[in-house]
Amino acid sequence: MNGNNRNVALDGRADRATEPTRVESRRGGDVWPWINWGLALTTLPAAVIVMLFALGAVMSTDSCGDRQCPGLGGGGIDFGVAFYGAPAVALAVIVISLFTAKHKRGIVVPLCGWALLVTDVALMVATLAQ
């Protein structure tokens, strides 16, 4: 330590002063991949829940006829898209995350996947609520 500057360290020789070594904390940089992979991998159970919800929604309309459920027949999304789209979204999120997980903005990929899964459920609810 030098009397004029507390951040300067002196080694055994007085002719050479060295700056103290700084230990870079990689903690902040290592958080994003964990968050990214956590969100990406949780799309798998979310896709299963969406598929179960779609299956339950279709099964709940089994006894509906024209008189009992008049607004059910037209429009809405196709059951195949609602049912098989969820695991396709989860698979796409995981595959794309292989390339984007280490980037800070790579979190956009799992967030978009989650948005698609939530939209899928919202469209099914809106279709069956009529």
Render pLDDT for 30-88 as a digit per residue (tens, 0 to 9).
788 888 999 999 999 999 999 999 888 878 776 676 666 666 655 556 778 888 999 99
The pLDDT mean for the chain works out to: 79
One-letter identity of residue 45: P
Please determine, for residue 104, whether its predicted confidence score (pLDDT) is greater than 90. no
Structure tokens at 22: 């700084």
Confidence tier at 18 by pLDDT (50, 70, 90): low
> What residues contact 118, with CB distance under 8 A and at least 6 apart?
none
- Assessment of whether the complete model's pTM goes beyond 0.75: no
Do the beta carbons of residue 120 and residue 86 sit within 8 Å?
yes
Do the beta carbons of residue 121 and residue 74 sit within 8 Å?
no
